[in-house]
Amino acid sequence: MTAIEIERTHSAYEALPPRPAPFPRFFRETALLVGRALRTIARVPSRLIDVTIQPLIFTLLFLYVFGSAIHVPGPYQNYLLPGLIGQSLAFGVIGAGTATATDFTSGVVDRFRSLPVTRLSVIAAQVIGQILEQILGLLIVAAVGIGLGWRPHLNVGSAFELIGLMLLGLFAFTWFGVLMGMVFKSSDAVQGVGFAVVFPLTFLAGAFVPIQGMKLIPRTIGDWDPLSSLVAAVRHVCQGTNSTGSWQLTHPVVSMIFWCVLITAICVPLALRRFRTTSAAK
Amino acid sequence: MANNDLVVVTDGLTKHFGDFVAVDQFNLEVQAGTVVSLLGPNGAGKTTIVRMIATLIKPTAGSATVCGYDVVKDSDAVRSVLSLTGQFAALEDNLTARENLILMARLRGYSRKATVQVTESLIERFDIGEFRDKLVKSVSGGQRRRIDLAASLVVQPRVLVLDEPTTGLDPRSRQVVWATIRELVAEGVTLFLTTQYLEEADALADYIVLLDHGRATAAGTANDLKSQVGDQRVDVVAADAAGLEKLVIGLSSDFQLKVSAEQRMISIPAPDDVNDLAKVARAVHDVGVEVDEIALRRPTLDDAFLALTGQPLSSTDNDNEVEESRS
């Protein structure tokens, strides 16, 4: 008897319950991994600052430094804040990309992948965690904006429309970022490419100054820049303003939905395939 | 031999990355309850083999099974019987030691209640109590490794795969990790281990496979490999270059010398054991120069690796680390 008891305390392993069916298991594992991501956000406030500091600096810079030279109908806050929110959506690519690259090169994701865990849950948790982090960032930016005089004109219908558009945008651009993170495998590279491509595109997207006042070349780019539709759509829903210019600017909501669905349709299969077939660790 | 005695079997396992052949026709059988070590320098393909066996990458050709499950067709089953501790301690830096273990246990499927019990017993067993509530990013390398090992053992795996478990650790932490590994082996865990330290393979493994440029160049027990290299010898290390010269002149008439000027070392075959050592010592005494060291040596795995692959195993800085742990 004693021998058996000693044996038992020594091995100290509890019996594993039988494995649930794949579907509940996917939800359970995703929830656990999202929990890990959320805890990490709480532990590393600097990451949240990364998400919010840039739009906050831009808010102050454009509101109090450049703003007096920019002429738009109505208070500049009401022009600027929707622009910044549209821009933040696009910057989600960089945020999700750097986080994914870091995660994937640290070996943590490899460990998850070496466990009998639904593989889809690992990448789903990555996307959900990133989206939640960015929602937190967007709420901070919006709160500061309201504190500085931004007055969105929302009713129940347009509020839901805004939430829907934001979620769609977050979903599409986060998947884009996750794919970038897996392709470049280095947070520095993602950041470098991200800032070289996304940054100029947001300036041309009418986030800060109206596109129609730009010279021919930037105006043409801005007219067809997918990010322009994001900015114009957020502005349209928040303030009821209509943009002029290309078709996508006069139909910003439809265009934004089109771009986001297109990005999702391209990035999700590519990201899933990449996640399945390649290993990202060095 | 019954098939279920073989825990890991690879057959012609091959991995190409583009034109680069990382692993070429690798064959291996790991028997239950044994420790098998892959020994080779950086870039030999050790990690690639581990990653194929742990289902993280797919082989280009050949096959591998773990407990009879194919790593490609039954990858989920493989993952449930195998635990991997990768080369980079794969923990979440921003969670505490305890939270990391809890996460691993929950992902393995334990209920909350069972998770607490498993975690507590691992904390006790790996002596993690002292830093259990510290964030992983702020613990030392050795502590990190212990948490990492514990995280691999939230379930009792049929086979534990350790990829370079002590790379980058200081000698003391290395000893601790070795002690832990020996305990696991004593408990009957089958271990598949990669290392670039001869010392480590020598100390832990029942069976060693030398790996070089993706190919297995030799395999056997440590003694098998050493005996392929040759006999024991007396090494004399001169205190300086001038002393070495005098020793070479003084000893060359009576002994068959192999001189390594770089290490200021003379090697003399010593088939007659201590008698040869005494003879050499007397001759050195007669020459009358200072020596740093005079010792009877059996061939090391280092010699074996050099003899079997034509190149030394370790880079300079690894050498230093191995030396430190020897002293």
| B238 lies in the same domain as B167 | no
Diameter of chain B by CA atoms?
Answer: 77
Joined together, the tokens standing for residue B193 give 């281990």
Which residues, other chains included, contact B39 with Cβ-Cβ below 8 Å and sequence gap of 6+?
A: B194, B195, B196, B198, B201, B208, B209, B210, B211, B301, B305, B313
Question: What pLDDT score was predicted for residue A249?
Answer: 83
| B254 lies in the same domain as B208 | no
B104 is a domain residue: yes
Question: What pLDDT score was predicted for residue A3?
Answer: 39
Q: B293 vs A14, B235, B238, B241, B299, CA distance in Å?
A: 54, 8, 7, 14, 17
| B139 lies in the same domain as B243 | no
Chain B residue numbers touching A17 (CB-CB < 8 A): 109-111, 114
Rounded to an integer, the average pLDDT of A29-36 is 92
| B137 lies in the same domain as B281 | no
| B192 lies in the same domain as B212 | yes
Of the partner residues A10, A36, A114, the one whose CB lies closest to the CB of residue B103: A36
Question: What pLDDT score was predicted for residue B230?
Answer: 67
Chain A residue numbers touching B84 (CB-CB < 8 A): 110-111, 114
Distance (Å) from the alpha carbon of B89 to chain A's nearest alpha carbon: 7
pLDDT means per 10 residues in chain B (327 residues)?
Answer: 74 92 92 91 88 91 93 90 82 91 92 92 89 92 87 88 86 84 85 88 90 88 77 85 88 85 86 84 88 83 72 48 32
B327 is a domain residue: no
Q: Which amino acid is at B154?
A: V
Chain A residue numbers touching B108 (CB-CB < 8 A): 16, 115-116
Interface contact flag, A115 B79, Cβ < 8 Å:
yes
Question: What pLDDT score was predicted for residue A154?
Answer: 86
B163 is a domain residue: yes
Question: What pLDDT score was predicted for residue A112?
Answer: 86
B286 is a domain residue: yes
Question: What pLDDT score was predicted for residue B35?
Answer: 93
B18, exposed or middle or buried, with CB in 10 Å at 0-12, 13-18, 19+? exposed
Of the partner residues B91, B95, B114, the one whose CB lies closest to the CB of residue A39: B95
B82, exposed or middle or buried, with CB in 10 Å at 0-12, 13-18, 19+? buried
Edge-to-edge strand list for the sheet holding B265-269: B258-260, B265-269, B233-238, B291-297
The model's pTM: 0.76
CATH number at residue B158: 3.40.50.300
CATH number at residue B274: 3.30.70.790
Question: Which candidate, B271, B268, B262, B267, places its Cα nearest to that of B316?
Answer: B262
Of the partner residues B84, B109, B156, the one whose CB lies closest to the CB of residue A19: B109
| B111 lies in the same domain as B260 | no
Rounded to an integer, the average pLDDT of A63-76 is 85
Highest-scoring range by mean pLDDT, A127-131, A136-140, A208-212? A127-131
Query: Is A274 near chain B, with CB under 8 Å?
Result: no
Query: Is B272 near chain A, with CB under 8 Å?
Result: no
Question: What pLDDT score was predicted for residue B312?
Answer: 66
Query: Is A27 near chain B, with CB under 8 Å?
Result: no
Q: How far apart are CA B99 and CA B77, in angstroms?
A: 26
B191 is a domain residue: yes
Beta partners for B293? B237
Domain of B277?
231-298
| B142 lies in the same domain as B241 | no
Distance (Å) from the alpha carbon of A94 to chain B's nearest alpha carbon: 21
Interface contact flag, B108 A40, Cβ < 8 Å:
no
Contact B8, B161 (CB under 8 A): no
Find residues 106-135 of chain A whose CB sits inside 8 Å of chain B.
106-108, 110-117
| Count of structural domains, chain B | 2
- Residue A281: pLDDT band with limits 50, 70, 90: very low
Joined together, the tokens standing for residue B252 give 């060359």
A62-66, A106-110, A197-201, B247-251: least confident range: A106-110
Pairs of CB atoms within 8 A across A/B: 94
Question: What pLDDT score was predicted for residue B65?
Answer: 94
